[in-house]
A and B are shown apart, each in its own frame.
Chain A
Amino acid sequence: MNPRALPAGLVLGLLAILVVAPLAGLLSLGGLQLNDPRELQFWHSAYIQRVLVFSLWQALLSTICSVLPAILVARSLALQPVFPLRALLLRLFALPLVVPSVVAVMAMVSVYGAGGWIPLGRSLYGINGILLAHVFFNLPLAVRLLLPYWQAIPRHHWQLAAQLGMNAGQRWRLLEWPALREGLPGVLLLVFMLCLVSFAVVLTLGGGPRSTTLEVAIYQSLRFDFNPSRAVALALLQLALCVVVATLTQRLQRLPEVEIGLDPAPVGIRPVFSTFNLVLIALAAIYVGMPLLSMLIDALSGPWFEVLTETRLWQSIANTLIIGLSAALLSVAAGWFLLRYSASLAFEGRGLAARWIELAGSVVYVVPPLVIGTGMFVLLSSWADVFGWVYPIVIAVNALMGLPFVIRCLGPPMRQNHARYERLCRSLALAGWNRFRYLEWPLLRRPLGLAAGLVAALAMGDLGVIALFGTPESATLSLLIYQQLGAYLVSEATVTALMLLGVCLAAFWLLERGIGGGDRA
């Protein structure tokens, strides 16, 4: 048996435990209730159909509006020579992930609301608002995930393209698009999932109950209605939706037919400053920067001295960092073992199995943390003191949520690496720790660093999981923000939000430097 199958199997097993077991636990509370007439009426009602359609539609639309421009922006960044602050811009692009949704809503309103810089007035509350917010969250993420694909194009291909006199369109068709096809479906799926489960943003900026998504229905059925089996059924429905979308996007995908170079040099031809590219990059920077800037401005005019001198703040910062970094490391490790196995499967020609493994790791993202957390209570409360397990559970669930990001960042380079060096390693009997140390670590550091940074950002901004457990001592920054907002302390909350951004930026820098080893992006 493939020696890599075992650790991968362990990871998959853990995934199953973290997801399937809580679902089963919830089901055990109420049974499946397929015969209950009220349940049947719910599932046949126009309401649930409308919710389903809307959830799908807003997620699809948001995905297209985020990823299509992201392709253009990533291309511009790849083709432009290195300009000052480029590294900072890329790091800035990781920030929207960390912003808690309630803060993001306020930032959107600061920029686009009635009193904002680009006042849209009431037309903000509807699909416009949803798109604006989703593009803010996902465009920068997609740019960072897509950028490496340009860097994978061999330098000689660029040189050939120049010599053969290809224009931009031909270059796109013959060089860039084929290279992009490997990773695009994964990015599309990830952004789709993020938009599908985006709850508070869609509800608040969507303008009202017309903008109800499946997440809202799950939330309602689990909390107010206390109908766990319906919640499970809805969660499974959401899961099924993602699997369908995943299989559809897979059709776009083309795994590389010949080994693609891991040449780090961006482009071999003489790079030229193109106005079009620069304008595009500037527009993206402004679009992403405006809400962040509004947060900064709000915070600066807030009571930052008082907030900074609260001991509670520093404790929260410590908690946030611990959770974020632990979740990042755990997630990256789990993803590593999964992907090593799927890479070897792909190399042996079992591409379908490889894809299913990666899909399993990714799709669990859409099972709501509320469902997982509640299910865990059901399972654990009878034999363990759940409150003692707060940290491990929060870290584990956040690591789970981060897995799709790891798979996106690490999957393709790992596959290429494997294809390139597997035979050499076998002939040299280079395996295990030595192989990691001399081969995989130096070549895969950069995507590893990016993956770790993204998961950390996600975990640090997370509210859904930690809020379930709420003991006062385990306050993280996002929980603190929420508490402040609930206590009328809006200006304090903006300062705390800025601290969260700062901590995230610092963690990202740390992980990219420490693991990723440097600024070249």
Chain B
Amino acid sequence: MLEVRQLEFAYTADEPRMHFELAVAEGEVLSLIGPSGSGKSTLLNLIAGFLEQQGGSILLDGIAIDALPVEARPVSIVFQQYNLFPHLDVHTNVALGIDPALHHSAAQAKAVDGALDRLGLAGLERRKPGELSGGQQQRVALARVLVRRRKILLLDEAFAALGPAQRAEMIGLVRQLVEEQRMAALLVSHQPRDALIASARTAFVSDGRIVTLQDTRRLLDETQLVEVREYLGSI
């Protein structure tokens, strides 16, 4: 399980520090919602290792991972765009997740095919990303996550460009994968509805800190916190 303890970060010395504290269980997808600039993506970047924290720690199953370099962290991340290399075909894009040198054993090659199959991309192995729809591209990214078999999955507004039905489908897919693989996942989204589909628990992030972390439905429907209500508007 993923734990973020007293994590502190600020981009420059003048800014007030952000402060994060949360825990995600195995098999759980925790949603992060909140206004733009509140620090959601920053938190994901800290966990992935793209930014270096100034205080606190990140632990997976009790072991600190925050001192590890990016490539050694047990993390997979899916962005909103630019997840795939446009000049490489689908198969290669996924295979990069196993070994960036693209040296594969037969078993690994089968794993790639299996992942593509699992995500409904069979037959598209030789296509280039430019030839796929947005939804298909994100599936390819998820196929890569699958072959990497890392314990932590981060989704940074990964489905923002998709329509509501597709989004629901993708989030369902993510939940399945997360449960099967016993991953701990964080989903950042601008759509509170996504949180409803994805997570039992949701955190509201604002101004560089987690304002509240509670049951998703209670947060969205019944919260009395002013910030949250202002953000949610009238749903």
Contacts and interface: CB of A to CB of B under 8 A. Distances in A.
A binds B: yes
A257 B127 CA distance: 13
B79 A162 contact: no
Contact of A178 (B72, B77, B87): B87
A162 B71 CA distance: 6
Interface stretch (A121-129, A151-159, A332-340, A408-416): A151-159
Interface in A255-282: 256-258, 261, 268-270
B190 interface: no
B82 A157 contact: yes
B51 A154 contact: no
A257 B87 contact: yes
Given A163-B75, A258-B130, A174 B85 contact: yes
A156 B50 contact: no
Interface in B62-99: 70-73, 75-77, 79, 81-83, 85-88, 96-97
B129 interface: yes
B48 interface: yes
Contacts of B81: 154, 156
| Most chain B beta-carbon neighbours within 10 Å: one of A254, A261, A269 | A269
A261 B101 contact: no
B87 A165 contact: no
B71 A165 contact: yes
A157 B96 contact: no
B134 to A, nearest CB: 12
A380 interface: no
B225 to A, nearest CB: 33
A258 B86 contact: yes
A166 interface: yes
A256 B97 contact: no
B48 A164 contact: no
Contacts of B50: 159, 162, 268-270
A164 B83 contact: no
B71 A164 contact: yes
Contacts of B72: 165
A163 B70 contact: yes
Contacts, number: 67
Nearest to A179: B87
A430 interface: no
Nearest to A178: B87
B38 to A, nearest CB: 20
Contact of B100 (A159, A167, A270): A167
Contact of B96 (A155, A159, A164): A164
Contact of B130 (A160, A161, A163, A257): A257
Contacts of A165: 71-72, 100
B128 interface: yes
B70 A170 contact: no
Contacts of A175: 85
B215 to A, nearest CB: 32
Nearest to A155: B82
B52 interface: yes
B83 A160 contact: yes
Interface string B92-124: 000011001100000000000000000000000
A166 B75 CA distance: 15
A166 B79 contact: no
A159 B78 CA distance: 11
A254 B128 CA distance: 15
Contacts of B130: 257-258
Nearest to B100: A166
Interface in A162-198: 162-167, 170, 174-175, 178
A159 B88 CA distance: 17
Contacts of A270: 50-52, 70
B112 to A, nearest CB: 14
Given A164-B96, A257-B130, A258-B130, A159 B48 contact: yes
Contacts of A257: 86-87, 128, 130
Contacts of B85: 157, 174-175, 178
Contact of A170 (B73, B76, B101): B101
A167 to B, nearest CB: 7
A257 B87 CA distance: 7
Interface in A113-154: 154
A63 to B, nearest CB: 26
Contact of B70 (A156, A162, A174, A258): A162
A175 B100 CA distance: 12
A163 B77 CA distance: 8
A154 B85 CA distance: 10
Contacts of B75: 163
Nearest to A167: B100
A110 B48 CA distance: 53
A269 B86 contact: no
Contacts of A162: 49-50, 70-71
A149 to B, nearest CB: 14
A67 to B, nearest CB: 22
Contact of A258 (B51, B77, B100, B129): B129
A164 B51 CA distance: 16
A256 B87 CA distance: 9
Nearest to B45: A159
B52 A256 contact: no
Nearest to B70: A162
Nearest to B96: A164
Interface in A6-57: none
| Most chain B beta-carbon neighbours within 10 Å: one of A157, A164, A270 | A164
Interface string B125-138: 00011100000000
A439 B157 CA distance: 26
B71 A154 contact: no
Contacts of A160: 77, 82-83
Given A174-B88, A270-B51, A164 B97 contact: yes
Interface of B: 48-52, 70-73, 75-77, 79, 81-83, 85-88, 96-97, 100-101, 128-130
16 contacts: A156-B81, A156-B82, A159-B70, A161-B100, A162-B49, A163-B70, A163-B77, A164-B96, A165-B72, A165-B100, A254-B87, A257-B86, A257-B87, A258-B130, A269-B50, A270-B52
Q: 3 closest Cβ contacts across the A-B interface?
A: A165-B71, A156-B82, A258-B86
Given A254-B87, A256-B86, 16 more contacts: A154-B82, A156-B82, A157-B82, A157-B85, A159-B50, A159-B77, A162-B50, A163-B49, A163-B77, A164-B96, A164-B97, A165-B100, A167-B101, A174-B85, A174-B88, A269-B70
